[in-house]
Amino acid sequence: MTQELSEQQATAAASGASATERFRENKKAGAQASKERVNLLASGVINAVNDTIRRHKVTYDEYNALKAWLIQVGQDGEWPLFLDVWIEHSVEEVANENRHGSKGTIEGPYYVPNAPELPAVATLPMRGDEAGTPLSFQGQVTNLAGQPLAGAHVEIWHADDAGFYSQYAPGLPEWNLRGTVVADGQGSFNVRTMQPAPYQIPTDGACGQLIAAAGWHAWRPAHLHLIVSAPGHLPITTQLYFKGDEHISDDIASAVKPELILDPAPVAGGGGKEVTYNFVLDPA
């Protein structure tokens, strides 16, 4: 008899394996770099590590502990988690530094492409008893001149009220709280969902060992993930956070920006909260 696992029984190893598999499926096309560029970047990273060792007088015990930990990161499948939590925010800053439209931030390790396509006014797929506070998230997608981008795609995904993502934890429907909303002729959209909760990144694997050893916390503030795109324009990958969240100022992933903080208002007559956020896309 096969036991059906609940989402609370998710493990770092299982989540890490899923993230690694998704990365291999979705990011196969690597950048083509010249030998000069590879030499520059690889040498820079290696030199930075060696400089750290010399500056802080790293011992052989510490060096061997690092080797063992690096091996464990790979065995746990947590390289996507490690890189997306501690490194990606710098890559994103460089990649988007010349944009004039909406602010971006990290994608994170839990994106899944080809989420169900939904109309401009839609409710994300969810369980009948989905926990949390109902949230109406609406807005418009325009170009830099303020012209609406009809039919823009607004991909949205987020954790549930317990902090778990569908397809990365057992017991969740495949597309729970994931969808691709197609904006109307005015670039407008309205998505009904549940406001996500803050959550800790997995702590029972190698990344958790690093967090415990360094005395850090593992919390991310509650957030919505989005990729907004339209023909002829650069897509923007971003996350939107919630005013008042206790981890806004100390997000372990260093991904929060002031422009990305929402301040939902209670819906008149009760029944949850609502917020408007507009997206501006740069030309391709």
Q: Residue 4: is its pLDDT beyond 70? A: no
Q: Residue 91: is its pLDDT beyond 50? A: yes
Nearest to 108 by CA among 206, 275, 255: 255
Confidence of residue 8 (pLDDT cuts 50, 70, 90): low
Q: Is domain 11-284 given the CATH code 2.60.130.10 in the classification?
A: yes
Residue with tokens 């005013």: 243
Q: Show me where the domains of the chain are located.
A: 11-284
Confidence of residue 156 (pLDDT cuts 50, 70, 90): very high
User: What is the mean predicted confidence (pLDDT) over 222-237?
Assistant: 98
Confidence of residue 33 (pLDDT cuts 50, 70, 90): confident
User: What is the mean predicted confidence (pLDDT) over 35-58?
Assistant: 96
Answer for the pair 186, 125: CB distance below 8 angstroms, yes or no: no
User: What is the mean predicted confidence (pLDDT) over 87-92?
Assistant: 96
Of residues 3 and 148, the one with the higher pLDDT is 148
Confidence of residue 2 (pLDDT cuts 50, 70, 90): very low
Query: How many angstroms separate the CA atoms of 11 and 103, rounded?
Result: 32
Question: Please, is 89 exposed, middle or buried when counting C-beta atoms within 10 Å of its C-beta (0-12, 13-18, 19+)?
Answer: middle
Answer for the pair 177, 158: CB distance below 8 angstroms, yes or no: yes
User: What is the mean predicted confidence (pLDDT) over 144-167?
Assistant: 97
pLDDT at 227: 98
User: What is the mean predicted confidence (pLDDT) over 163-177?
Assistant: 94
Torsion 266-245-15-106 (CA) sign: positive
Q: Are strands 236-242 and 223-229 parallel, antiparallel or unpaired?
A: antiparallel
Strands (E), the chain: 117-118, 121-123, 133-143, 153-157, 178-182, 188-195, 199-200, 219-220, 223-229, 236-242, 261-262, 265-266, 273-276, 279-281
Percent above pLDDT 70 for the chain: 90
pLDDT at 32: 77
User: What is the mean predicted confidence (pLDDT) over 86-94?
Assistant: 96
Answer for the pair 127, 176: CB distance below 8 angstroms, yes or no: yes
Torsion 70-76-77-81 (CA) sign: negative
Eight-state DSSP code of residue 260: G
pLDDT at 21: 73
Q: Residue 218: is its pLDDT beyond 80? A: yes
pLDDT at 271: 86
Confidence of residue 13 (pLDDT cuts 50, 70, 90): low
User: What is the mean predicted confidence (pLDDT) over 51-71?
Assistant: 97
Eight-state DSSP code of residue 224: E
The pLDDT tens digits of the residues spanning 171-207 come to 999 999 999 999 999 999 999 999 999 999 989 999 9
